[in-house]
Amino acid sequence: MDFVCNFPFFSILLSLFSGTICSILPGRAAKVVNRIVIAAVGVMSGILLVYLLGTGESFVYWMGHFPAPWGNEIRAGVLEAGMALFFCIIMYLSMAGGAHKLFDEVEESKHNLYYILINLLLSSLLALVYTNDMFTAYVFVEINTISACGLIMIRQVGRTIEAAVRYMIMSLLGSGLLLFGLCIMYDLTGHLLMSNIKESVSVLIQTGEYQIPLIVSVALMCVGLCIKSALFPFHAWLPDAYGYSTVSSAAILSSLVSKGYIFLLIKIIYRVIGFDIFNNTRIIDVLFVFGLMGMIFGSLSAIKENDIRRMIAFSSVAQIGYIYMGFGMGTQAGMVASIFHILSHAATKSLLFIAAIGLTEVSGGSRKFIDLTGAGYRNKWAGVAFTAGSLSMVGVPLFSGFISKLLFAQAAVQVEGKMLAALIVLGISTVLNAIYFMKTVIRIYAVTGDTSYPCITFKDMKVHAVVLVLFVIVNILLGVSSQPVVNMIEQGLAMFA
Amino acid sequence: MGPNLLVNYGEAVAAILFCIGFTNLLLQTNLIKKIIGLNIMDSAIYLFLAEKGYIAGRAAPIVTNGVTSVEAYINPIPSGLVLTGIVVSVSVSALMLSLTIRLYLRYHTLNLDEIAAQLKKEGR
Amino acid sequence: MSKKKSAEEYHKTFAFHFFRWLSGGKDPYLGNVEMRPQKEYEADPEMLLRQEKEHDAILDKVYDTKHNALLKLFHSLYEITSILFCLFLMALLLVTISYLPATGAADKPVNNEVAGRYIEKGLEETGAVNIVAGMILDYRAFDTLGESHVLFVATITVLILLRLDKNKKGEVNPLTKEMNPNDRIYEPKNDAILQLVATFLVPIIIIFGIYIILNGHLGPGGGFSGGAVIGAGLILYLNAFGFQKTERFFTEKTYKWICFFSLSFYCLAKSYSFYTGANHLHSIIPNGTPGAILSGGLILPLNIAVGLVVACTMYAFYAMFRKGGF
Amino acid sequence: MYLILLPILFPILAGVCLLVCRKDLSRKLLTVTTGTCLVITGALAITALTRVKQDFTLFYLTRTLPVYFHIDQISILFSLLTVIVFLCAGFFSFAYMKHEQKEKRYYGYYLMAFGVLNGLCFAGNLITFYLFFELLTLSSFPLVLHTGSKEAIMAGLKYLFYSLCGAYASLFGIYFLCQNCDTLTFTAGGVLQVSAASKDGSFFLFLAFMMILGFGVKAGMFPMHAWLPTAHPAAPAPASATLSAVIVKAGVLALIRVIYYIFGADFIRGTWVQTTWLALALVTVFMGSMLAYREPVLKKRLAYSTVSQLSYILFGLAVMNEEAFTGSLLHVLAHGFIKGTLFLTAGAIIYTTGKTKVDELRGIGKEMPLTMWCYTIVSLGLIGIPPTGGFVSKWYLAIGGLAGDIGIFRYLGPAILLVSALLTAGYLLPLTIRGFFPGTDYDYQTLQKREPCPLMTIPILFMTILSVLIGLFPTVIVDTLTDFVSTLI
Amino acid sequence: MIICIILIPLLAGILVPVLPFRKRSHKEIFLEGAVILNSILVWYLLLHHSESTFLLAHFTGDLNISFRVDGMSMVFAGLVSGLWPFATLYAFEYMTKEEHENTFFLFYTMTYGITLGIALAANLLTMYFFYELLTLVTVPLVMHTLTREAILASRKYLYYSLGGAAFAFIGLIMVIVYGTTTDFILGGVLDPGKIGDKNNILLLIYVMAFMGFGVKAAVCPFNSWLPQAGVAPTPVTALLHAVAVVKSGAFAIIRLTYYSFGTEFLYGTWAQTTVIIVVMFTIVYGCSRALKETHIKRRLAYSTISNLSYILFGAVIMTPLGLTGALTHLVFHAVMKISSFFCAGAIMHQTDKRYVHELNGLGYKMPCVFGIFTVSSLALMGVPGLAGFISKWNLAGAAVNSRNSLAYAGIACLLLSALLTAIYMLSIVVRAFFPGKDFDDGPIQNVHDPNWKMLLPLFVFTVFIIIFGLHSQPIVDFFYDVATGVY
């Protein structure tokens, strides 16, 4: 085994351990540690990705001295490595972009705690990405949930705490269902490792035993993860949570945390149940319908919103709807589109959050649209970045959003019964996206008679500006040279099977 | 309806408890009651798991007298899972409770709806 | 000849219009070419502001739970659907359960080679008499590592929420304002009975906890349960004697370092074990004689670490809830 | 060859020059220039007319759309009428326009309209015809709104839009004809492809009907006649004269060209289109007379009269036999001269007295005897009393109507013509009667001769004479017409 | 080479705010030079084009950004590059009265490049790409004055355009999935083997895509952005909202219909019927709205709506003749409408009057402008001898030839619209030249024609209107060749 194969394990453990270390460090040092860890994990994931692309095969990694059905395992393929790399990039940028806001919004003595949360969140995301064991997944889902909750309420105002409570309640419902589904699954198969479960499941399907419990268990797990990733009817907690938490948190939560759960769902679909078996259930239809509804209702709520951060948050609901719609199509192409959208949405949404904070800063801290008038002139960098993000969300070519839209539509065309619904909703949703994002863009470039707010130049926001530029670059990279990414996703999915 | 409902009465109870907890978590407006619901839910799952691991007539999985025969002990895995689950449950309860404390200190009520209403007013 | 209509009346009749057109009088549509300017749309900023206020007022009204009938209806609907959903879930689960393998049977899918190996080889491979302990701390140690971090992260969140920190600039923490300042006046309670009982019980409890931890690999128990017992003892002590006493030996610093060292040890030890395992290297940690206290490889030290963490955490939770500090 | 172009382009260019010229010319110079231009144009036109049967393609708009000129008898007839009326009215306006502003503009458009009308007469195919038809509308509407009063502007716009409406309705037909005819050159007997006519017969009938309605707008046919009574009173008198005598005849010309030269009379004869057309024409005849009868304002009365009289012509065309057709052509001439005279006299009266209503004009015959005599003579002509031109034309129309194979209209037509003639007498003669016999209470003391200047009276006189001449020596014209009329029917 | 002509305007535009021009005239020379240079290059390229495709970048899969010159590109690129230098010249003068000149010229010049990108796109994706970019670069132009009105207008413009593009996008997907390639091939690229029994869905998608692209071409009911966008400075309204932007919508529809879905697939289906009806309705609707409008530019904008649907009407007849008619009107209408818009702009520039009823008597004060306006009005009405007649003739001829009874009704709409055009255009002319008896020209004593920078484009356009009207055969032949795929 090559040394590189240790990297997934290293990255998980490194981030876990750094969490522990941060607990004794002062805030500033914790920040440094945190950055280093994210960067290191990113580098490792990158190397791993290159390695895997070279070998073309995934590998499993024993967590301990015991092989598959007995010990824990993690597993790394192209998709996992790519996802980890991407998560690191986004997380690093989000952290860097929101760092200056942290000082205003979080007590200084608790900064190190914040970084602990981030580290643990990273480790849990990595574990979700790499894990090959259902129960490990459950445990890390819980870490993920709790640290996400911490990220929400670390800015301690009434709304965030309330949002955190709501978030926790929904998440716990989700975890409860997930765990219950897991238990049933375990009861049916006697395994906790994904690959073993899959073998047993295919045997069960062939023999026709335990069909109903099997379906119910899958459904429970799906619903649990849907709740956790804020699919449409379960999104009530989301706007406050994303809208009022400190900006890095919002960016990370919207772009990574929910994506972690979704990625886990993908893994469950592919590695636990089996793609074909999953597609033969009615569950995908339900996912499809809720996905479509999410796309529409999320956008509608966003249109009504009067607060830029909440608007972006509602837009997340819509975007998650896209992803589930891709699942619901039940084809490989739909899955690829969904995964690409995970990436593209992550890149875009964090960009939007970070840019929005730049805009609100020059508007007296208000996030009401009426105060944001002309903010694009006061903070040019944030304005341009926000515009770029909006365009990506609307699906203008050159940006990543276009490619994901393209992939979705291509995937939709191949599905007989769902084609029209998907295409039309895609169209409508684009229109709605255009309405609320373009409204904002035009608003920030409208002129205002009130010039009492200060202007910000590059000097005052070096880091922020650089981060924004990097985000835009990531976005455009995804949009322009999407083919390697799509290839990677396809390769990764092939490795899943 | 399958054949094993009565045999699986333990699981059935677990399921019922789970739903009670679930309903509580979903519907109670009082935060403390919600947390109790959460704990009921978790306990139901432990019960379920324990039932899963149980094999009639076998001992707990602690090697006694050096007997390491499969026939001697019940399945150890669910027990392990329950252990892990308990820790998670404790952590979550702690977190929820502390959130509740904060909210109570701030809004002097445990009713989530009232808190929401107050927030709406505060927000502007 | 019918009655003659007045001119005005006549002007309204169709006959008049027809005749007007016929005789080339007024053309009905030609007049449109001569037009007045249309009104430009201009929104009054004040009006916008007023609209916003109205919007707010509407929102107020909408969220006025006591008087808004619609909202009430919505709430009751929501409740009914939720209950229905829960009932549905219950029915679903019951049906599912009815199809599950029978409880207590030995030939269930659960009882497969996995459990078999744990039981048959567990003692040999992990050195732990308690198969469960062996399983969670060796076979499936990664889960357990995660689990301890769940606890850790939960403490962190509780710290974030409840710890009272003093700002560098000495500003009053917003939390302090919210907290009831009188709570600490009653420290210590000086309850004689409690103190007396505690004097007896606390050492016993703590020793019992230590026993559980140390015997984690030999019998029922382990780091978590033992730690919880010790934590309970500490809490009892605190209740009996107050913070001033406990602060002598247990401060935040103590907590921090204990947690740090335990968790670091846990992490590093398990990392070593994972690394060697994955790379098929030989682990230098001996398994020892099964049944002896110093056996089970890493299980005992890990149990101790976990126990310490749990004990501290339990105490920390209590202290946080109580007064927001140690 | 290029001679055909001269009477068209020369006045147009002259008119444009007048319009573009920024300097204010003195009135005398303006008059002289315009007069010269008019005369030259007339001369050119007459010269061009001598070159009968010379055809000439100027250039191709697109491969299938040549701008093509050709002179035949119809052209000669209409062109002569145009030249005479324009010259007369032109000279009349030198005197009349004294009391109007912006004469330069007036003459500019006047010359342009002259040129365009020449072009219209010489046009050898439908496209060229349509081109000049549109231009005619555009160059003549400024004449209508010349006075600049609100009513005049509205009337001008109304004229413009009605005419365009008609033009577009006929353009609808042209689009289809273009694809279904071998050529759009005017050919006696029609050019419609037999295959198309037999296959989509009813559709082409519909097209023909559209075109009749469309061009009928210009000729003041019933559903779209309303512009006429609005435009005439608003325009200056000489402009009304040309409008009524010539420009509305463009609609007649158009109908002749379309029905007899494109569709072919045989295609239309006996179909619902002919019936409807007849009905519309008769309705117009009767309606126009009735409206004129109850109209107090002189010029407006004359305008209604035009509506009525034009439909005489249309009736003749719609009957589609030789007599009626000859009658129509004769009526074109006769009505042209008569109505020209009538409007000019009305103009003279307004110019001198400023009174517009018939009731106010008691004793006018005493004041302006020459003018009123002319008025009376042509009125009699319009009524159809021999030996004026009107009698001959109506005679032929009635004969044609009776001889035509047109069902009930065979009798209804002549009857209505008669009734209308009575009504004509009813609306024209009161002025004569009042003018010459003002009654006992007329105050002869204040009477003074107010005969207008010769520049006004001579054109009036000239046209009156012409109208009488037609009546006296109709055979000259009839003989020349008969030959080629038979080729058409 | 191809990429060059797209990049030159983009670069020139970006350089405007960057370069330190000492005098305004320097900037003018720089911009005008760049634009003329580019136009020359375009024409050179069009006249010496090769069949080869220039591949710029791969997107995903077999989708790529590539450029090629074919007949349609020649028409559109030639048109745009012919008009742009004049419009720029006009803009110099016009913008002396407006603010933020640099921003304006930045986007204005960039639009040139983007429009050429649309024209020269070799496949549907490239076209879509530039189509979206066009929306984005033109929004700042609409917003230019930054008044509340402008903001609302640009917002609407964005919503409509992006929303439309979203539906056009679905069509794009269909072509990708069911076509053999996305390249433009006259006659369509759909693969019957792949379609199978999905005809109806494909037709539905076609209609959706038609409406999607139709948003830019202001098809009813998605037309209301266009009149509102008239708040932009006149060079923008004239060039973009009468030519570049809206025509690119029509252009896109032609591409979609003839080069992607293929007329063979669509001809005679319910989809064709639907779009013809929509187009016919728009023709009449646009005109009748123009009639009621009193703001000159908005009136012209409504007129544009109607005239764009003429083009579409030709296009959806779906015969080579129809396409010829559409192309004829595409080019001729551009010249006519830009001319009338420039006149309106000149009026606004010289007098600040923007309502029809304020124009009384201005005809004698600004004879050149109003003379040209009259000519363009007459041309728009379709008076024979001017450009409009020819294009209408071609359209109607195509409709007659198609033997489609709906197309016959379309001719009626065309003529009805011509009548309405006459009414709304001529009522302006009449006002200007015949102000009425009691008109007092005191307040407009000092009004006069604008300077040569404004008049030169106007005269050139007028000359073209007349030339096209009198001698259109070569160019129409060329269009016919394009439509039959010779080029």
Q: In whole angstroms, what is the distance from residue A364 CA to residue A464 CA?
A: 18
D16: nearest CA in chain E?
E371
Q: pLDDT value at position C36? A: 47
- Residues 74-93 of chain B whose Cβ lies under 8 A from any Cβ of chain C: 75-80, 83-84, 86-88, 90-92
Q: How confident is the model at residue C4 (pLDDT cuts 50, 70, 90)?
A: low
Average the pLDDT over E80-91 and give the result. Answer: 86
**At residue C175, does pLDDT exceed 60?**
no
Q: In whole angstroms, what is the distance from residue A37 CA to residue A17 CA?
A: 10
Residue of higher predicted confidence among D280 and D179: D280
Q: How confident is the model at residue A278 (pLDDT cuts 50, 70, 90)?
A: confident
C116, B55 in Cβ contact below 8 A? no
| pLDDT more than 90, % of chain C | 6
| pLDDT more than 90, % of chain A | 13
Average the pLDDT over E247-274 and give the result. Answer: 87
Q: How confident is the model at residue C176 (pLDDT cuts 50, 70, 90)?
A: low
Q: pLDDT value at position C183? A: 55
Q: How many domains does chain D have?
A: 2
Of C21, C33, C34, the CB nearest to D226: C21
Distance from CA of E424 to the nearest CA of C (A): 8
Per CB-CB distance under 8 Å, the chain B contacts of A173 are 22, 25-26
Q: In whole angstroms, what is the distance from residue C43 CA to residue C46 CA?
A: 9
Predicted confidence (pLDDT) per residue in E118-145, tens digit:
888 888 888 888 888 888 888 888 888 8
User: Between chains, do A446 and E151 touch, taking CB under 8 Å as contact?
Assistant: yes
| pLDDT more than 70, % of chain A | 99
Report the mean per-residue pLDDT for chain E: 84
Q: In whole angstroms, what is the distance from residue D463 CA to residue D443 CA?
A: 32
**At residue C169, does pLDDT exceed 60?**
no
**At residue E108, does pLDDT exceed 70?**
yes
Q: Which of D214, D244, D262 represents a domain boundary (last residue)?
A: D262
C25: nearest CA in chain D?
D230
**At residue C171, does pLDDT exceed 60?**
no
Of A172, A186, A192, the CB nearest to B38: A172
D4 and D93 in a single domain? The answer is yes
Q: pLDDT value at position C38? A: 46
Predicted confidence (pLDDT) per residue in B64-86, tens digit:
777 777 778 888 888 888 888 88
- Read off the DSSP letter of residue E186: T
User: Between chains, do B92 and A187 touch, taking CB under 8 Å as contact?
Assistant: no
DSSP H stretches of helix in E294-436? 296-317, 320-351, 362-365, 367-381, 387-402, 405-433
Average the pLDDT over E282-306 and give the result. Answer: 86
Report the mean per-residue pLDDT for chain D: 84
D319 and D248 in a single domain? The answer is no
Q: In whole angstroms, what is the distance from residue C277 CA to residue A63 CA?
A: 7
**At residue A26, does pLDDT exceed 60?**
yes
At residue B64, the 3 state secondary structure works out as coil
- Subunits next to C (3 or more Cβ pairs <8 Å) are A, B, D, E
Q: Rounded to the nearest 5°, which phi and psi values hold at E144? A: -45, -45
D257 and D289 in a single domain? The answer is no
User: Between chains, do C37 and E357 touch, taking CB under 8 Å as contact?
Assistant: yes
Q: Which of B7, B38, B105 to mutate to test the interface with A (most CBs of A within 10 A)?
A: B38
Q: Which domains does chain B show, CATH number per domain?
A: 9-122 (1.10.287.3510)
Q: In whole angstroms, what is the distance from residue E270 CA to residue E266 CA?
A: 8
At residue B62, the 3 state secondary structure works out as strand
**At residue C167, does pLDDT exceed 70?**
no
Residue of higher predicted confidence among E58 and B40: B40
Predicted confidence (pLDDT) per residue in C50-97, tens digit:
777 777 777 666 666 566 777 778 878 888 888 888 888 888 888 888
Q: Rounded to the nearest 5°, which phi and psi values hold at E306? A: -65, -45
Interface present between E and C (3 or more CB pairs within 8 Å): yes
Q: pLDDT value at position C188? A: 61
Average the pLDDT over A470-475 and give the result. Answer: 90
User: Between chains, do A187 and C52 touch, taking CB under 8 Å as contact?
Assistant: no
The token pair at C23 is 């005789």
User: Between chains, do A140 and C267 touch, taking CB under 8 Å as contact?
Assistant: no
Interface present between B and A (3 or more CB pairs within 8 Å): yes
Of C21, C22, C33, the CB nearest to D157: C33
- D291 near C CB under 8 A: yes
Report the mean per-residue pLDDT for chain A: 86
E469: nearest CA in chain D?
D61
Please state which of the ranges A79-93, A345-359, D1-15 shows the lowest mean pLDDT: D1-15
Per CB-CB distance under 8 Å, the chain B contacts of A169 are 25-26, 34
Please state which of the ranges C1-5, D348-352, E310-314 shows the lowest mean pLDDT: C1-5
Q: In whole angstroms, what is the distance from residue A404 CA to residue A433 CA?
A: 14
Q: Which of D245, D262, D279 represents a domain boundary (last residue)?
A: D262
Please state which of the ranges C161-170, C211-220, D389-398, E209-218 shows the lowest mean pLDDT: C161-170
Interface present between C and D (3 or more CB pairs within 8 Å): yes
- Subunits next to B (3 or more Cβ pairs <8 Å) are A, C
Q: In whole angstroms, what is the distance from residue C14 CA to residue C1 CA?
A: 18
Predicted confidence (pLDDT) per residue in A229-263, tens digit:
888 888 888 888 888 888 888 888 888 888 899 99
* 3-state percent breakdown (helix, strand, coil) of chain D, nearest 5: 80, 5, 20
The residue written with tokens 């326009």 in the block is: D97
Q: pLDDT value at position A427? A: 86
| ipTM for this model | 0.81
E471, E307 in Cβ contact below 8 A? no
**At residue C180, does pLDDT exceed 80?**
no
Q: pLDDT value at position C37? A: 45
Q: pLDDT value at position C59? A: 65
At residue E426, the 3 state secondary structure works out as helix
Domain that includes residue D423, residue range: 269-489
Q: pLDDT value at position C233? A: 92
- Residues 23-52 of chain B whose Cβ lies under 8 A from any Cβ of chain C: 23, 26-27, 51-52
Of A70, A114, A143, the CB nearest to C117: A70
Predicted confidence (pLDDT) per residue in E363-378, tens digit:
778 888 888 898 899 8
Q: How confident is the model at residue C30 (pLDDT cuts 50, 70, 90)?
A: low
Q: pLDDT value at position D54? A: 67
Q: Which of A60, A66, A42, A47 is nearest to A1 (CA)?
A: A60
Q: In whole angstroms, what is the distance from residue B73 CA to residue B93 CA?
A: 33
D150 and D299 in a single domain? The answer is no
Q: How confident is the model at residue C231 (pLDDT cuts 50, 70, 90)?
A: very high
User: Between chains, do B103 and A161 touch, taking CB under 8 Å as contact?
Assistant: yes
D184 and D281 in a single domain? The answer is no
Q: How many CA atoms lie within 13 A of A434 on its CB side?
A: 26
Per CB-CB distance under 8 Å, the chain B contacts of A186 are 52, 77-78, 81
Average the pLDDT over A342-356 and give the result. Answer: 90
Per CB-CB distance under 8 Å, the chain A contacts of E124 are none
- Subunits next to A (3 or more Cβ pairs <8 Å) are B, C, E
At residue E51, the 3 state secondary structure works out as coil
Helix/strand/coil (H/E/C) assignment for every residue in C132-174: HHHHHHHHCHHHHHHHHHHHHHHHHHHHHHHCCCCCCCCCCCH
Predicted confidence (pLDDT) per residue in A35-71, tens digit:
999 999 999 999 998 888 888 888 888 887 887 778 8
Q: pLDDT value at position A275? A: 85
pTM comes to: 0.85
Average the pLDDT over D364-375 and give the result. Answer: 83
Distance from CA of E309 to the nearest CA of D (A): 18
Per CB-CB distance under 8 Å, the chain C contacts of E149 are 40-42
Per CB-CB distance under 8 Å, the chain B contacts of C212 are none
